[in-house]
Structure 1
Amino acid sequence: MSTPYRLVMTTCDSKDNAKHIAAHLVLNKLAACVNILPQLESIYMWQGEVTQSDEFKLLIKTKSALVNEVIEVIQTEHSYDVPEVQVIEITNGAQQYFNWMEEVLN
């Protein structure tokens, strides 16, 4: 089973930036819900060096038709030059939750 819903993930360097992006998406009906996972540690390559930083993970629940707008908001409102954006297809789930998403996003 496939659904018209997606999970978009990104990370932010501060809780304030994470909350700003989350509120923007929800207020503009681009996301039904955004979870902000507490501080996590990321290790990655940046400008030729191994970098370690504390980040906050956003799990953004949206419709596939809104993904490009969600990505645009992340790229515009994010504090990073190159923000992480990953989109995962939601293949199955609780129909009641999907019904709620439809209500919220219309």
Structure 2
Amino acid sequence: MEGALTIVPSIVVYVTVPNKEAGMKLAESIIKEKLAACVNRVPGIESVYWWDGKVERDAEELLIIKTRESLLGALTQHVKSNHEYDVPEVIALPITGGNEKYLQWIKDSTRDK
């Protein structure tokens, strides 16, 4: 079979950041370390959450990160080490299907571990 694809289990990871500058810095460092194939920055979200015994509201930016499932641990550690929040959001969702060539690109654009 010509051009057989060898995709790997892939995930989408959500990470919130406080502003554009923090989002750009973190996104670029994730890509440079080959911890993800792509990071989308979604500006203008508002988060409402429980923290220190009360309801908080903050303007934030959402990073949507596409990567290999096997890189979740390394990605989580990278976010924790390079994020200003005490408890940064790192939530992984499985990719259960999609464009096989795109999923192959995720594999080809990321490191093994």
Task: Tell me the TM-score range normalised by the shorter chain.
Answer: over 0.9
Instruction: Map 1:1-106 to 2 at 5 A.
Output: 4-106=9-111
Report how many aligned residue pairs link the two structures.
104
Identity of aligned residues (%): 36
Q: Larger % of helix: which?
A: 1
Select the structure of larger CA radius of gyration. 2
Distance in 1, matches of 2:72 and 2:85, equals 19
- Deviation (angstroms), 1:20: 1.1
**1:70 Cα deviation from its structure 2 partner:** 0.5
CA distance in 2, matches of 1:102, 1:9: 19
- RMSD, matched Cα: 1.0
Cα deviations across residues 17-64 of structure 1 (Å, max 9, x unaligned)? Answer: 111111011011100000010111111111111111100000010001
**TM-score normalised by L of structure 2:** 0.88
Which letter maps to 1:88?
L
Structure 2 stretches of 5 or more lacking a match?
Answer: 1-7
TM-score by length of 1: 0.93
TM-superposed CA distance for 1:103, in Å, is: 1.9
> Which of structure 1's runs of 4+ aligned residues deviate more than 3 A?
none
The SS at the match of 1:53 is strand
Letter of the structure 2 residue corresponding to residue 93 of structure 1: G
Runs (5+) with no aligned partner, structure 1: none
- Residue identity opposite 2:74 in structure 1: E
For the residue of structure 2 that corresponds to 1:99, the secondary structure is helix
